[in-house]
Structure 1
Amino acid sequence: MAETEETRAEAQFEFITFSAGGQSFCLEITQIREIRRWTPVTALPHTPEDVLGVMNLRGAVIPIFDLSARFGLGKTESNERNVVIVAAVGSTTIGLLVESVSEILSVAKSAIQETPNIKSDVTRNSILGMISVGETMVRVVNLDAVLDTGMGIAV
């Protein structure tokens, strides 16, 4: 059976949902390499507040970011219940400290709403869209924009 344009437009996308700064966010599942329990990291001098340090991941040193602090939602109080989402940004692997990981969300492309047109280019570029899940709005994170040098860090 031939695939129609309508069928392609309704392709399902899978996201991992998580909490950062008490808010709901998600990343496309293809960007995530693994999810790890929080362990202390090695701090580096003169880094921005949202860069917690580095972690040794099977011989590779990766930077660990506090996603809540990165989004201006306050620092995450690190504890044993927090997790690090190890994600790929191009050819770079990074870690994101979040409060918790919730679920896998499977949605049609048409269910992803555009980010509202607000006067913040950083916000518009950091959030690819919004997904309504019950009473909650889940934000789709654009990792490329979040870690872009325009926000003060180069990876």
Structure 2
Amino acid sequence: MNTIEDNQFLTFYLGDECYGIGILHIKEIIEYSGLTNVPLMPDFIPGVINLRGNVVPVVDLKHKFFKQKIEPDRKTCVIIVEIFSGRSLDGKERNDLGILVESVNEVVSISLDDIEPAPTFGARVKVDFIQGMARQENGFIIILNTEKILNLDELTSIEETQNSEMLVEEK
């Protein structure tokens, strides 16, 4: 059974492309006010923010997708999403992660009939990251698969690899 929330997506921009994330994954949207740089993080994680006493890593989606860093301006926002990792016993450990975007657009309702499968070729974004393409009056909204893009196990393995490389270099 689908609820209305299952069909609602927060839309945002990276360059000229419009993307969407299901609102059930989103905790809040905050105005960009700078990040704290953390050494040895992957390039697509420019830093962390303090969110009510919790350290939240922030992923620059434009850098992750296109290897181009977002140049923050007054429209730049951080979308806080809740993702699950398989680290807990029930496989549902919740973690907050920030997504740096150039601008947030609006919440839209999209009928499941208007969402087509991800293209198998020709997309500028890795196909695994795309959940579907939503037809709109003025083009498409690329619906992202947050579980694939923001995979905590992948982020942790990157960090562990970098740490082990540093230990090898020190010897």
Q: TM-score range by the shorter chain?
A: 0.7 to 0.9
User: Is the partner of 2:7 in helix, strand or coil?
Assistant: strand
Structure 1 residue ranges (4+ consecutive) displaced by more than 4 angstroms after TM superposition: 8-12
User: Is 1:54 the equivalent of 2:56?
Assistant: no
The separation in 1 between residues aligned to 2:17 and 2:98, in whole angstroms, is 18
Map of 1:14 onto structure 2: 8
Structure 1 residue 92 displacement after superposition: 1.0
Q: Matches of residues 1-150 of structure 1 in structure 2 within 5 Å?
A: 13-72=7-66, 74-90=68-84, 91-118=94-121, 123-148=126-151
The separation in 2 between residues aligned to 1:33 and 1:10, in whole angstroms, is 18
Deviations, residues 86-109 of structure 1 (Å, cap 9, x unaligned):
111121100011011111110111
Structure 1 residue 124 displacement after superposition: 1.9
Report sequence identity in percent: 29
The separation in 1 between residues aligned to 2:20 and 2:70, in whole angstroms, is 17
The separation in 2 between residues aligned to 1:73 and 1:17, in whole angstroms, is 21
Kindly report the root-mean-square deviation, in angstroms, between the aligned alpha carbons of the 2 structures: 2.4
Structure 1 residue 149 displacement after superposition: 6.5
TM-score norm. by structure 2 comes to 0.77
CA distance 1:10–1:38, shift in 2 (3 Å)? closer
User: Is the partner of 1:64 in helix, strand or coil?
Assistant: strand
User: Is the partner of 1:39 in helix, strand or coil?
Assistant: coil
User: Is the partner of 1:51 in helix, strand or coil?
Assistant: coil
Q: Is the 8 A contact 1:21 1:76 kept in 2?
A: no
Structure 1 residue 153 displacement after superposition: 2.2
Q: Is the 8 A contact 1:9 1:109 kept in 2?
A: no
The separation in 2 between residues aligned to 1:85 and 1:48, in whole angstroms, is 19
Question: 5+ residue gaps in structure 2?
Answer: 85-93, 158-171
**How many residues are aligned here?**
146
